[in-house]
């Protein structure tokens, strides 16, 4: 019979950046790429340590983090934990401020010339 700590180690998949994804009381289970954008779980002895997925949360593609979240099943027999995705990107707030600043620095259009200009159109 497994001790509680062994049972937890059997179920929890720790995601450590830069490390192969292994779990189990002795680290005997590991995660490998299924070839279809997903992951499979198996014994490290059968998979081979060189074939294990090395966790990289800085991958821009969201499919990687999504696939990691799907390693466990609905019964929660296995649950990945840790940082799934960590990318540095500008925030909406920063981008909006930059856009306002760029618009302020641009030469504004002559509003009166636009209103009295010869450009016309017909709306039907």
State residue 96's pLDDT score. 95
> SS3 sequence, the chain?
CCCHHHHHHHHEEEECCCCECEECCCCCEEEEECCCCCEEEEEHHHHCHHHECECCCCCCCHHHHHHHHCCCCCCCCCEEEECCCCCCCCCHHHHHHHHHHHHHHCCCCCHHHHHHCCCCCCCC
Query: So where are the chain's domains?
Result: 4-82
State residue 3's pLDDT score. 64
pLDDT tens for each residue of 57-79 = 999 999 999 999 988 766 668 89
Contact 74, 42 (CB under 8 A): no
Residues of the chain with pLDDT under 70: 1-5, 73-76, 108
């Amino acid at each position: 019979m497994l001790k509680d700590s062994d049972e937890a180690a059997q179920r929890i998949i720790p995601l450590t950046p830069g490390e192969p994804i292994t779990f189990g009381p002795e680290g005997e289970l590991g995660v490998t790429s299924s070839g279809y954008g997903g992951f499979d779980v198996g014994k490290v002895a059968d998979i081979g340590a060189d074939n294990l997925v090395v966790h990289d949360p800085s991958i821009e593609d969201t499919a990687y983090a999504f696939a990691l979240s799907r390693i466990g099943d609905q019964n929660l027999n296995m649950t990945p934990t840790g940082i799934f995705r960590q990318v540095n990107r500008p925030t909406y707030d920063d981008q909006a401020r930059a856009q306002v600043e760029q618009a302020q620095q641009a030469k504004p259009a002559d509003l009166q010339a636009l209103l009295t200009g010869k450009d016309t159109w017909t709306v039907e």
